[in-house]
């Protein structure tokens, strides 16, 4: 009885007879020779059958196997540079094949390109394709690396509620639902306020889960449901926060480089760009960034681009501005000290400059833009209350949040990291809808 193995472990079994359980990804007949590219979830491997090695009826069955048929293949592993697959370079000489299910002939996914509408309508099948498989494997490693780094650096995962009573960040649009006799409840757009309660019990915490924004954003950087990591740290200032982000992002990038080499290679990612993601990241003040952007705007001669680059102090960066800033470095870039007016109400003002707050965004290189946004939080009760009033937020809804400032308040900081944006950047893909198994966009809740 041959040992059942996974394709990802194939290199350890050269010369041995093994069994692989999976699905036919592609088939090529060549007369007395038949190639099956079989995927098993862990990778893709070429299985080669010679007519002379098998019963005639078995070989005939093989050459008529529809794409996506479920199979159990047994054969000897050998190294062959010609063999395609992920990792590739190994193949199985078929000795025996059992067909678990012969797939229907009308499988709609082609190995060639699909348009976004068709691909997304068939997302339940699209995820089987090599490109999507590779991206989602990277996503899983990004998420595991995120938890691993935080867990080994003294953080505790504290799940935040998804059904929440009110807007956390004011103006942003919320998904609304009926909640028994209590009136309306809303899908969480952040777990941060709950994290701030948790740090006073656990010191360093994070929540990691789906968040929801009913914004009508229709760009390659937006989903209505996306996964966000939100660490929050007691006794931590803005500088300390940036060190945490550096440590985490470095660990994520280096872990993916180590564990997803085959996936990155398949995606055609230039890994030298990711190898740069280590150590201290460059830091730039909002003031300096604004000067740079204004200069760029004034020098731009193309009228269309000039309109996009339009900038003055006090504005938040648009995607074109972020792209320009990230071109300055080959590492992620911190931009800190944004105008308070464009940031959330809970951010600590800069000492001596109340128009600026102790916030920091982390911009991914190569034009990918914001992947993390965070700040030092207001720790003083009266200052926070004043900000709530100024923003016109309902004081009653923030009663418990304000109370945190009465019993042992300390300087504290936190940030949010958009998982899909990180995955899109690491994989080098165009659109974050491919960085989540089943994307939710303004125009799509199916499948």
Range 59-78, binding RNA (CB under 7 A):
64, 66-67
**For RNA, which residue of 135, 141, 160, 228 counts as binding (CB under 7 A)?**
228
Q: Is 137 in the site for RNA (CB under 7 A)?
A: no
Q: What would the two tokens of residue 239 be? A: 């500088």
What x-and-dash track marks residues 139-158 binding RNA by CB under 7 A? --------------------
Whichever of 259 and 367 has its CB closer to RNA, that residue is 367
Query: Binding to RNA by residue 24, rule CB under 7 A?
Result: no
User: By C-alpha distance, which of 109, 105, 129 is closest to 118?
Assistant: 109
Size of the site for RNA (CB under 7 A): 77
- 286-299 helix and 319-326 helix, angle to the nearest 10 degrees: 100
43-62: contacts with RNA (CB under 7 A): 46, 48, 50-52
Strands (E), 176-332: 176-178, 184-187, 204-212, 225-234, 283-285
Please report, as residue ranges, which positions from 76 to 135 form the binding site for RNA (by CB under 7 A): 80, 82-84, 91, 105, 107-108, 110-120
Contact between residue 347 and residue 358 where contact means Cβ atoms under 8 Å apart: yes
Applying CB under 7 A, the span of 8-16, 140-148, 399-407, 438-446 interacting with RNA comes to 438-446
Closest C-alpha to 128, from 38, 248, 16, 222: 38
Q: Of 182 and 312, which CB lies nearer to RNA in the complex structure?
A: 312
Q: Give the DSSP H or E segment for 291.
A: helix 286-299
Please identify, among the stretches 22-30, 195-203, 273-281, 288-296, the one whose residues bind RNA according to the rule CB under 7 A.
Answer: 22-30
Site string for RNA, 289-328 (x = CB under 7 A): -------------------x-------xxxxx-x------
Map residue 349 onto helix, strand or coil.
Answer: strand
Residue 402: its H or E element: helix 399-403
CB of 35 to RNA, least distance (A): 4
Tokens of 285: 């003040």
Annotate each residue in 187-216 with x if it binds RNA (CB under 7 A) or - if it does not, as one string.
---x----------------------x-xx
Neighbouring CB atoms inside 10 A of 24's CB total 23
Q: How far apart are CA 4 and CA 168, in angstroms?
A: 51
State the minimum distance, in angstroms, from the CB of residue 12 to RNA: 20
């Amino acid at each position: 009885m041959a040992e059942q193995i996974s394709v990802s472990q194939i290199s350890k079994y050269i010369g041995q007879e093994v069994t692989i359980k999976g699905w036919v990804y592609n088939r090529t007949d060549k007369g007395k020779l038949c190639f099956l590219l079989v995927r098993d979830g862990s990778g893709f491997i070429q299985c080669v059958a010679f007519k002379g090695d098998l019963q005639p009826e078995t070989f005939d069955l093989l050459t008529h196997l529809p794409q996506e048929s479920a199979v159990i293949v047994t054969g000897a592993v050998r190294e062959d540079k010609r063999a395609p697959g992920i990792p590739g370079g190994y193949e199985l000489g078929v000795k025996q094949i059992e067909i678990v299910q012969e797939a229907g002939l009308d499988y709609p996914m082609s190995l060639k390109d699909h348009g976004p509408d068709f691909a997304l309508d068939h997302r339940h099948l699209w995820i089987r394709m090599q490109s999507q498989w590779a991206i989602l494997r990277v996503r899983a490693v990004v998420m595991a690396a995120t938890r691993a780094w935080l867990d080994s650096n003294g953080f505790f995962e504290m799940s935040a509620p998804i059904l929440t009573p009110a807007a956390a960040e004011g103006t942003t649009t919320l998904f609304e639902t009926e909640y028994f006799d209590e009136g309306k409840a809303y899908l969480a757009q952040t777990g941060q306020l709950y994290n701030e309660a948790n740090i006073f019990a656990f010191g360093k915490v994070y929540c990691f889960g789906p968040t929801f924004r009913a914004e009508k954003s229709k760009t390659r950087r937006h989903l209505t449901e996306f996964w966000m990591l939100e660490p929050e740290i007691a006794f931590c200032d803005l500088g300390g926060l940036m060190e945490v982000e550096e440590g985490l992002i470095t660990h994520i990038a280096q872990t993916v480089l180590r564990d997803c080499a085959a996936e990155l290679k398949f995606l055609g990612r230039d890994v030298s760009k990711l190898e740069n993601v280590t150590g201290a990241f460059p830091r730039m003040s909002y003031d300096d960034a604004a000067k740079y952007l204004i200069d760029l705007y004034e020098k731009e001669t193309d009228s269309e681009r000039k309109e996009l680059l339009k900038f003055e102090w006090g504005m938040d960066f648009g995607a074109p501005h972020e792209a320009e800033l990230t071109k300055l470095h080959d590492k992620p870039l911190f931009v800190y000290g944004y105008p308070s007016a464009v940031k959330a109400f809970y951010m600590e003002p800069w000492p001596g400059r109340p128009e600026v707050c102790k916030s920091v965004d982390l911009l991914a290189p190569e034009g990918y833009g914001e992947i993390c946004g965070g700040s030092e939080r207001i720790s003083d009760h009266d200052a926070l209350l004043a900000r709530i009033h100024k923003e016109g937020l309902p004081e009653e809804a923030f009663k418990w949040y304000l109370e945190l400032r009465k019993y042992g308040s300390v300087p504290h900081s936190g940030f949010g990291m958009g998982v899909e944006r990180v995955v899109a950047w690491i994989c080098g893909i165009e659109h974050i809808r491919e960085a989540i198994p089943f994307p939710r966009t303004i125009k799509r809740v199916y499948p």
